Structure 1
Amino acid sequence: MHAHLQPYVTPILLTTQSFTESAPLLDDADDPHLESQPTQKASFTERLGTILNEPLTPINKILLVLLLIFLLLSAVFIGLFAGAQYKLYHRGGQPGENPPTSTFTSVVTLPPTATRTTTVVVPPTAAPSDPPTDNVCLTPECVKLSAAILSSLDTSQDPCENFYDYATGGWRKSHPIPSDKGRYGTFNSLFEENQQIVRDILENGNSVSALKSSADEQLLRKLRTLYASCMDQDTLDALGEQPLHQVLRVVRKLFRGKTTDISSNAGSKDELDDDKKRDGLTAALAYLHSRGIPALFSFDVEGDSKVDPNFMALWFSQPDLGLPSKEYYEDKPIRKVYKGVVERLLFASYEDEEQAQKKIAENLVQNEETVKAWPPWPWPPWGGDGDDDDGDKKPKNRSELAKHLARKVVKFERRLANASLDLDVLQQDPMGTYNKIPISNLTGALPQIHFNNYFTTLTPRNYPDEVIVTYPAYIESLSHILDTTSRDVIEAYLVTQVALRLATRLSLKTESWKARRSLDEVLMGIKPGAVGDRAEYCVNAVDSALGFAAGRYFVNETFGGDSQEKGTQVIEDIVKSFKASLPKIDWMDQTSADAAADKADAIRIKVGYPLSPNTTNAESIARYYALVKVSQHAYFDNMLSAVTSDVYREWQQLGKQRDLQAWEMTPATVNAYYNPPANEIVFPAGILRPPFFSQEWPSYLKYGAFGQVAAHELTHAFDSAGRLYNQEGKLEEWWTKNTSEGFLVKQKCIVDQFSAYTVVGPDGKEVHVNGNLTSGENIGDTGIIQAYRAWKAQFDDSYQAGTEYLLPGLNFTREQLFFIAFGRIWAENIKPASLVQRVRTDPHSPNEFRVDGALHNVPEFADAFNCPKGAKLNPPPEKQCIFW
């Protein structure tokens, strides 16, 4: 029993059902009063009074003591039994009752056929208006569900102080982090289950035998060929570094102006005349970006949020870096590790050049074309780099060259990182990161890139007139960095970017794969040399490359019955609850509340699977993936083809209206999202499974688990960034000034709250959560209150329909189980290095704070668990950040 939970004492009136008066055990013949009694039996009270008025003999005293002991024991037994019955019924009562405040760690199961011989009467103030008559569900499914919940808990913890540990401690203890991962939680666990379903589809055809169209045959053949090529480790071992080196040869030729062809076969094309050559850097960047490899800058195609959110415009932004965030470049030990990885990648790439030169010499007579081949050795052919820290000293061999350039590349990337906008501003300030300019301004500010040629490569029939820039200062900084960096360093940087992104698709025996893996081991705390199941990796690769095709069969296997309808109902109930709460928000005036209700009504709700491509139509999906070329023994090329197809498809949307049926996530994904310009919330079928959702669950679990996911995404429409998009997805200030000012006060409150949380890194040092970076997600997590209210609002109907049934062995109120369902979905074990990476890069707070930090601001939680004032999760009102 927890210290903060006091026993709930209920006065009871005991009425015996079979008690009969009987003759005294011992008759006293000397008693004159017995003969003078009337024939009607004296009452028990009268006789007791008579006995008490007479002197007691020793034997009577003994008998009286025994009788009193017997009555006392009987009363205790009956009281305990009645209390147990009351608690059982009380858990089945209506919301709003005073909950019992003791939580038992032991489980007592009463036989369903037990006969009661006692009537329990509770005071009207504590009893439901209609005493519950529902029974505990004892089906195998209910027993399993109850066991899963119980096994998730750690009841040695105090829920009022550490609810995250209380709700997830059991799960975390029984689910250690696999040696090949830096973190492992319920999301990962469910994703593995989803992967297994997809794997069964890929490895045998029985599960999809009902889908026999020619388009299905084509899709399944493509899916299985890609999967088989990934699993073909013998071929990968035989190819070694060759697939990566082929790409690197193209990049180097393009950069040096040797060719203008950026196709995957560029290495075998004839060189064009000098007057047709493109600028080398521009051509190399166009090639990399078309293959999904970030370098120097990035372009995205998304709605023009200030003019027409559904008109797909071009956005220019800073690139991803080799390290996860700019903070890592100021971390000297990490920077040292990264420099070593870059050195290994460059060394491996130069080995290919040496071998190429040997091959040229051997085949000089046989193949005249190879005489023209690049590169000459030693590399680079232009000598010093102009900014050598070691003066004019030149590297003498490949090892020295790799070491020399690795240092320069890390320095170059560090300059890019310092020129980049901080992630918290980039993600939380949509007004500040919308800067539309004529395309000529971009080309003028960054003359090192010939954007005319760049756009001709990526979008030959739709040249943009304008571009939206997220951070104009980065353009000027990039131009200066390029002007002050030698070409060999820039080329080495491009080579490094390719190797970092593509090395994971090579054989595990290659030096490039090992170098890239060693970086992950440090950044995520993975056990050195630990490698996970190959099939798991390959199923994940299939989902990333052909996820909507795999999703068709995943949905067919898992998303039947009323899952879509019941999942949608939960979401719609939460929207209704949110609208009902708007007039009661103290910082929001009526004008803004009406506008917020309009936006909530306008949100598009998407559940299960997309209609573009249409998951129910194999032909639609086949057309979607028509450009993806898949070969049996070419995994590396297969993935490159898939990514190139994705990039081409994105650029094809430029200048067109948004496809309102399209999704950003595949059906098997365990996640959900809100898209502000589209004003839509999307929930893939992959997350509509336990422990998040089941259409057969009692409602208090559905709304506590999946309801939190739904409420989180809905609340994003009104968080620090989402609130700046109106009901049409247009970027504007649509709240009144007073409401916006009131929101900012609340936002500062939650920023300060989460900024005070810390994690401990692998070096034992504390790192603070970035309250600014995570403010939007933290506000989204406050949506748990809307899920709670939505559950309460539908309770009466749900109760009458039988969907609020109880589970065996769970001595909790429904209110408590709602919050337990919420807490347990965030169960996760994470290594210190991964935790630091998350704090530096992830807009979501660590899971512990997503639970306890959110409940800190939910008084209903403290009420449900009867938390005393002053408990960590029952702070005084002035210290809570209550938005809704």
Structure 2
Amino acid sequence: MADYGRRSGDDADESRPLLHGDDEVDDIDDRRGSLWHRIVAPLKHPESLRPLEKALLLLSLLLLLLFSVFVGLYAGTKSRLDHIGGGGRDGNDGKVPGSPGGATTCTSQRCVLAASDILHAIDETVDPCDDFYAFSTGGWLREHPIPGDSGLFGMAQKITSDNAQIIKDIVEVGDDEKKLHLSGNSEEDRIDARSQAKLRDFFQSCMDLDAQDRAGDGPLLDVIDELRERLVGKGDEPLFATLARQIDDTPVPPNQPPSRSPRPHPPTKSPGPLPPAAGGRQKRITEALAWAHARGLPAFFEWDVQGEPVKDPAFGTAYLGPSGLGFPDKAYYDDEDEIEFYQNVVEQSMLLLDEAERRHKHAGSSDKVGHSKAPKSSNGKAAKKLAKLVVELEKSIAKITPEAEDLEDPLATYNPTSLRQLSYLFESVDWPTYLSALSVRVPKSVIVQSPSFVKSLDSLLSRTKTPVIEAYLAWTALRTLGLYLGPSVPLRKPIDALDRRSKGVDEDAKVDREGYCLGRINEALGFMAGRFFVKEAFSQDARQQAQNIIEGIITAFKERLPELDWLDDKTRAKAQIKADAVTVKVGWPTSSPNTTDAADVDRFYSDLKVDRKDYLANSLSSLSREARRSWARVGRKIDKGVWDMFPAEVNAYYNPGNNEIVFPAGILQPMYFSEFWPAYLQYGVFGSVAGHELSHAFDPEGRLFDEQGRLHDWWTNDTAKAFEKRKDCIVDQYAGYTIPDTHGRPQHLRSKFTIGEDVADAGGLAQSFRAWRDHVASTSSEPASILPGLNYTQDQLFFIAYGIGWARNIRTQEAIRRLRTDPHSPTKYRVIGALSNDLNFREAFGCKAGDRMVRPDEERCSIW
């Protein structure tokens, strides 16, 4: 999966897109807050201008705009010539190889604005053969600082913000039917109006901070009470009342095992009866975990539902994997500064939880708004010790959690396990009872990604006293749901501090609440919002053009296969079959739900009730619904029409089980794609994205799945060894790249973790360039054109567009978080790493041996 931007709070300010719209700028470009929108905005109010005034104003502003642009083009070109000497490294007056013969300069409005955008994005004081990332993104990075409440801001976040503004236009309209963008009074219109109201209610519940403050911490305490009741029974005392006696009087470390009866030896694979339920503690842990997991609370372990990769990729199968950490990655638990801060956050949370429970007991169970005066707590010492034990428990979970790169191996993580085997492997849970609480169809077997983790976790739970598990579950609920509380609610504050810390955001930074809430709409109601987004922002023509580019990429990949001498004939033939079988999905799903069908979208979300005044309840309902829908796929044939991303999402992915590449409409927007762009820009940005996803079918993980999505190593031994050798070349290269931590110390990339994405980046770029060249050859009768005022060839502009697409400013803390958790390399090295190995780039810019962007031939890495 490519990392083009997630549904997080990384929102953006405005900037000009890489290329604007048609000669007649449409409403979509207006919504993106472009320069052209700001110029023609007065014309959107015809009642205020007479026809002649409108015509004169439009003409005057157009002339002024064109004059300003040409001045900028002249200045930029002169600056570039001053620094580089004109037209490339060879000093050949712009005759750098890569422009077809007879190329002409395009002077249309779009081309002029595109040239202006490129000049604003690049930094021509930098030699492209020295640091192409700085050259292609330097101007954009200077003009787009990180918003105060975000950890990063890049091109992907800019598009995400632009897409969110389109959704905002939908949710902020009133009830007047004329504002609903509907064509009449049909049944479809009425259903769309109902969907629009649901989107609007969710948005308003998120934006209504006063209502969230009035609700206080009561709703979250109800969740914790539910968890507690299932683990220890319903009691009248606050959480810390009983813990105070247990911990203050007898401070027991979490590794002292309670007594337990002996169990039989683990079974073999032969069928047999399940072991008897242990009762007592096992029953309580089972009920608590089932209740937590049904509501999306990530306690101890987690589940995913995918196809059974060996027996039947279309059969819904439950995967059990590691989870349960409060930090994003296990590496944080070895960082003294981070663990000290984290310990304080958990301690503050426990103290506040103790105070909140005492306050509510004092105020009465019917008054949980969190504003009554609380009696003074007497359990501060217990809360502090308990917080320490919770952190120690998480440290123990971190120690047994596999490294992220180990979980990337689909063969090593494929461990089919019967319920009987699982019941002996993980004795702390009554698995038949647990799975019956989550799934309509109790599976006969599951896939355990890491048997060693599961066995060690069972041992850890058996050694951990129940009060510590109780506090850990309470903390898990707090850290998961705390940000859904109002800003003035005390229980939110330590969770907010932890979130800000991970992104490097100042404590007093103002939150872009609107951007956050628009992102939450996409998480909770993504296909519903996507229906309206697609209608506004993505045409059938754009979809067809994107599909044409993708088909060209697949063709280029197949053309490349015979040229790879490290592939033997048998593996090459099967690779050709797999490439031919790749399913391409573009824009929006047509089933589960069909976003072109208002009724289908309405049915899809019919089980999600939205209360305009209760944001926490809406969020909990959404989390529970996602868990319920996921478990509903177990034991059933998986609908291959299901998408794992929403239409407005700025991302793309490859699904090995379906052998499909998927591109939501959200990523097919300027600055990544426009149906009106010159082909070299389309292929430079979106083409490389398409090639990236296709290359995932043949990366270290994807290559182990065949054309039908079945998991097995279909490569011959010699070819597999040759692939591993080339893969190791890339691993070694990227391991040499570093980023500074908060103390300025260099931190090396986890190249064994990022290798799949690094292989896809290089392969995607190579296939896209080849596909673009094929496109040029197939359309040779059409006049070629270059952009005005830019002394760059089409080949160079292809690579410039690629570089601009990865522009991103990022804070140090956020960069370190991603270094530890993200399977993608930092965007700087996604550009430098791929291009420094690319011979087409070297030729396009006339780079020479010894330049920093040129790898010596003996060090150059290439796979696809």
Q: What's the C-alpha RMSD, in Å, of the aligned pairs?
A: 2.6
CA distance in 2, matches of 1:637, 1:566: 42
The corresponding residue for 2:564 is 585
Are residues 1:823 and 2:787 paired? no
Query: Is residue 681–residue 713 contact of structure 1 (8 Å, CA) maintained in 2?
Result: yes
What SS class does the counterpart of residue 323 from structure 1 fall into? coil
Residues 624-655 of structure 1: per-residue CA shift (max 9 Å, x gap):
11110111201110111112111111111111
CA distance in 2, matches of 1:651, 1:455: 9
CA distance in 1, matches of 2:766, 2:817: 29
CA distance in 1, matches of 2:479, 2:195: 30
Query: Is residue 699–residue 798 contact of structure 1 (8 Å, CA) maintained in 2?
Result: no
CA distance in 2, matches of 1:424, 1:512: 35
CA distance in 2, matches of 1:362, 1:243: 12
Letter in 1 for 2:114: L
The corresponding residue for 1:214 is 190
Distance 1:317 1:135, change over 3 A: same
The corresponding residue for 1:172 is 141
Output aligned runs, 1:407-426, within 5 Å. 407-426=388-407
Query: Is residue 257–residue 277 contact of structure 1 (8 Å, CA) maintained in 2?
Result: no
Are residues 1:841 and 2:821 paired? yes
CA distance in 2, matches of 1:575, 1:362: 63
Are residues 1:650 and 2:630 paired? yes
The corresponding residue for 1:754 is 734
Query: Is residue 98–residue 794 contact of structure 2 (8 Å, CA) maintained in 1?
Result: no
1:283, CA displacement in angstroms? 1.4
Q: TM-score, normalised by structure 2?
A: 0.81
The corresponding residue for 1:663 is 643
What SS class does the counterpart of residue 344 from structure 1 fall into? helix
The corresponding residue for 1:624 is 604
CA distance in 2, matches of 1:128, 1:839: 36
Query: Is residue 295–residue 627 contact of structure 2 (8 Å, CA) maintained in 1?
Result: yes
Residues 703-749 of structure 1: per-residue CA shift (max 9 Å, x gap):
00001100000000000111111111111011111110000000110
1:524, CA displacement in angstroms? 1.6
Output aligned runs, 1:334-733, within 5 Å. 334-360=338-364, 397-427=378-408, 429-459=409-439, 461-612=440-591, 613-733=593-713
CA distance in 2, matches of 1:608, 1:641: 27
Query: Is residue 320–residue 447 contact of structure 2 (8 Å, CA) maintained in 1?
Result: yes
What SS class does the counterpart of residue 689 from structure 1 fall into? coil
Output aligned runs, 1:266-285, within 5 Å. 279-285=283-289
Are residues 1:874 and 2:850 paired? no
Are residues 1:104 and 2:81 paired? yes
Distance 1:656 1:399, change over 3 A: same
Letter in 2 for 1:448: S
Query: Is residue 308–residue 314 contact of structure 2 (8 Å, CA) maintained in 1?
Result: yes
The corresponding residue for 2:128 is 159
Residues 35-67 of structure 1: per-residue CA shift (max 9 Å, x gap):
xxxxxxxxxxxxxxxxxxxxxxxxxxxxxxxxx
What SS class does the counterpart of residue 223 from structure 2 fall into? helix
1:357, CA displacement in angstroms? 2.6
Report percent identity of matched pairs.
39
Residue of structure 1 aligned with 2:334, choices 307, 330, 336: 330
Distance 1:154 1:449, change over 3 A: same
What SS class does the counterpart of residue 881 from structure 1 fall into? coil
Distance 1:130 1:499, change over 3 A: closer
More relative contact order, 1 or 2 (CA 8 Å, 6+ apart)? 2
1:801, CA displacement in angstroms? 4.0
Query: Is residue 322–residue 401 contact of structure 2 (8 Å, CA) maintained in 1?
Result: yes
1:141, CA displacement in angstroms? 2.2
Residues 441-461 of structure 1: per-residue CA shift (max 9 Å, x gap):
1111212111122111111x3
What SS class does the counterpart of residue 772 from structure 1 fall into? helix
The corresponding residue for 2:246 is none
Letter in 2 for 1:805: S
Of 170-179 and 200-209, deviating more is 200-209
Query: Is residue 80–residue 125 contact of structure 2 (8 Å, CA) maintained in 1?
Result: no
1:138, CA displacement in angstroms? 2.1
1:878, CA displacement in angstroms? 1.3
What SS class does the counterpart of residue 863 from structure 1 fall into? helix
The corresponding residue for 1:233 is 209
Distance 1:882 1:777, change over 3 A: same
What SS class does the counterpart of residue 878 from structure 1 fall into? coil
What SS class does the counterpart of residue 405 from structure 2 fall into? helix
Q: Which has the larger radius of gyration?
A: 1
Letter in 1 for 2:610: V
The corresponding residue for 1:798 is 779
Query: Is residue 458–residue 648 contact of structure 1 (8 Å, CA) maintained in 2?
Result: yes
Letter in 2 for 1:104: L
1:338, CA displacement in angstroms? 0.6
CA distance in 2, matches of 1:606, 1:412: 44
Letter in 1 for 2:227: V
Letter in 2 for 1:286: A
What SS class does the counterpart of residue 727 from structure 1 fall into? coil
What SS class does the counterpart of residue 773 from structure 1 fall into? helix
Query: Is residue 103–residue 812 contact of structure 1 (8 Å, CA) maintained in 2?
Result: no
Residue of structure 2 aligned with 1:255, choices 231, 248, 261: 231
Unaligned runs of 5+ in 2: 1-76, 87-91, 236-278, 369-373
Q: TM-score, normalised by structure 1?
A: 0.79
The corresponding residue for 1:814 is 794
Are residues 1:145 and 2:114 paired? yes
Distance 1:478 1:520, change over 3 A: same
CA distance in 1, matches of 2:700, 2:166: 38
The corresponding residue for 2:153 is 184
Query: Is residue 257–residue 279 contact of structure 1 (8 Å, CA) maintained in 2?
Result: no
What SS class does the counterpart of residue 838 from structure 1 fall into? helix
Residues 437-494 of structure 1: per-residue CA shift (max 9 Å, x gap):
11111111212111122111111x3011111111000111011111111111111111
Residue of structure 2 aligned with 1:852, choices 820, 832, 840: 832
Distance 1:108 1:551, change over 3 A: farther
1:208, CA displacement in angstroms? 2.5
What SS class does the counterpart of residue 305 from structure 2 fall into? strand
Q: How many residues align?
A: 724
CA distance in 1, matches of 2:292, 2:82: 58
The corresponding residue for 1:72 is none
Distance 1:810 1:229, change over 3 A: same
CA distance in 1, matches of 2:835, 2:99: 30
CA distance in 2, matches of 1:276, 1:697: 67
